[in-house]
Amino acid sequence: MSPNSLRLPKRRGILHPDMTPMVGLGFLLVTFFLLAADFVKPTVLPLAMPVKPKMDEEQTQWGPCGGAMTVILGKDNKVYYYYGLLSVDGKPELHSTDLTATGLRQVLLKAKAQEGKFVVLIKPSDEAQYRNMVDVLDEMSITEPYRYALVDMAPGDYDLLRQHNL
């Protein structure tokens, strides 16, 4: 093979590609993105807030004390609970259990059978793990108490745990 046979033929003129299809494609892309942006409208979920009831002398922030149960998530997967709410007058009796099916679930089912409608206040402490909170919320969906709420620990709850060396 000679080196002359590998040469490319000389260009005789400048190539001018036809850009007409590209213009059409550009218009199609612009149309697509305008329509896609138009279809994606933010949806608003209506939120109905309950009317705040007036407080009686017998009621506290969470309602009647007889229908409440406070669950405190502690360290080492321990759960502490007491019936009623913390009051200035006295300290409730603190009980301990774990997050198994024979632990907290049975306590909640027993309380549901005795009280009927009761409110469960879930208070994760600083030493609690995120997994414990998820497990307690699972127990709430299994036992279906009347109402439950995640609330912050009060100073009285910390005092109660300190009194029991927990």
95: Cβ–Cβ under 8 A, 6 or more apart, which residues? Answer: 80, 81, 82, 107
- Looking at residue 5, its pLDDT comes to 61
Q: Are 119 and 67 in contact (CB under 8 A)?
A: yes
Q: How far apart are CA 63 and CA 136, in angstroms?
A: 22
Q: Are 112 and 118 in contact (CB under 8 A)?
A: yes
- Looking at residue 60, its pLDDT comes to 44
Q: Are 77 and 66 in contact (CB under 8 A)?
A: no
- Looking at residue 50, its pLDDT comes to 61
Q: How far apart are CA 153 and CA 127, in angstroms?
A: 12
Return the SS3 of 115. helix
Q: How far apart are CA 95 and CA 82, in angstroms?
A: 6
Q: Are 71 and 104 in contact (CB under 8 A)?
A: yes
Does the predicted model carry a pTM greater than 0.85? no
Q: Which domains does the chain possess? A: 65-163 (3.30.420.270)
- Looking at residue 30, its pLDDT comes to 94
What single DSSP character describes residue 126?
A: T
Q: Where are the alpha helices (DSSP H) in the chain?
A: 20-39, 104-115, 130-143, 155-163
- Looking at residue 118, its pLDDT comes to 81
- Looking at residue 4, its pLDDT comes to 60
Q: What is the mean pLDDT of each run of 10 residues along the chain (166 residues)?
A: 63 77 91 86 64 53 61 88 73 84 87 82 88 87 83 84 80
